[in-house]
A = this chain, B = another copy of it.
Amino acid sequence: MESIKALKWRYATKKFDPEQILPPKKIEILKKAFNLTATSYGLQPLKMLVIQNKDLQAELKEASYGQKQISTASHVLVICIEKEIGKSFIENYFRYVQDIRKTPDDVLHPFRESLIGDFEKKPSGEIRIWATHQAYLVLGTLMSICAVEGIDSCPMEGFEPEKYDQILKLDDHNLQSVLVLPVGYRAKDDFFAELKKVRRPLEETVIEF
């Protein structure tokens, strides 16, 4: 779909048509879009969960203040941050740089060591904030690509991350859930689909220099 038309078409879908399932081709696009998104230093401190399981969705709905977009969605995407961004995580990234770009180690070495040094100095809370920023960036990509692809979605901060982490056993993966994006096709009777989009006028939100 043409960009602006797509962004006007999208809205935070509160009720999906539970009978309509996204074809694997579309899920593949969302997985690739997730993985292709730029992240700070290229480090990708994130993982995405792709959930298509009605029992699990019913459980997650309860951990999302009962919001029915979780249970009616075709798939629920959960964006998670990595809990341990340290030496070995960064070394793993640089191994990929070396494999993919064939960059000689003497070129990579100083950058790798300085990045490891920087992260070792950062308090864990600061690293969590940094990684969370990247999660929002990815969410922006996913929502936009959903729109362009004619996929409905609902960006969600309103859920109980600790409960999600427990239900999905994210501790075992060293992950923390930070954002949720149910995706699918809007229900014909979703009341919110008919509401006009409310935005401040461009003259109020854009300043030209």
Q: Are A3 and B139 in contact (CB under 8 A)?
A: no
Q: Which residues of B contact A143 (CB under 8 A)?
A: 37-38, 137, 140-141
Cα separation A197 to B141 with both chains bound (whole Å): 17
Q: Are A198 and B101 in contact (CB under 8 A)?
A: yes
Nearest-Cβ distance from residue A1 to partner chain B, whole angstroms = 10
Interface string of A171-209 (1 = CB under 8 A from B): 001000000000000000000000111111010011111
- The distance in angstroms between the C-alpha atoms of A32 and B144, with both chains bound, is 13
Q: A53 and B209: CB pair below 8 A?
A: yes
Q: From residue 62 to 102 of chain A, which have CB atoms closer than 8 A to chain B?
A: 92-93, 96-97, 100-101
Bound CA–CA A198/B90 (angstroms): 13
Chain B residues within an 8 Å CB radius of A137? 136-137, 139-140, 143, 155
A165 at the interface (CB under 8 A from B): no
Taking CB atoms and an 8 Å cut-off, the chain A residues in 128-143 that contact chain B are 129, 132-134, 136-143
A144 touches B140 (CB 8 A): yes
Name 5 A/B residue pairs within 8 A (Cβ), A-sorted: A49-B206, A49-B208, A53-B209, A137-B140, A140-B140
Other contacts beyond A133-B136, A137-B140: 19, CB < 8 A: A3-B145, A4-B29, A7-B32, A8-B36, A35-B200, A36-B199, A37-B143, A40-B157, A44-B200, A46-B205, A47-B205, A48-B206, A48-B207, A49-B209, A51-B208, A97-B198, A100-B197, A140-B140, A144-B145
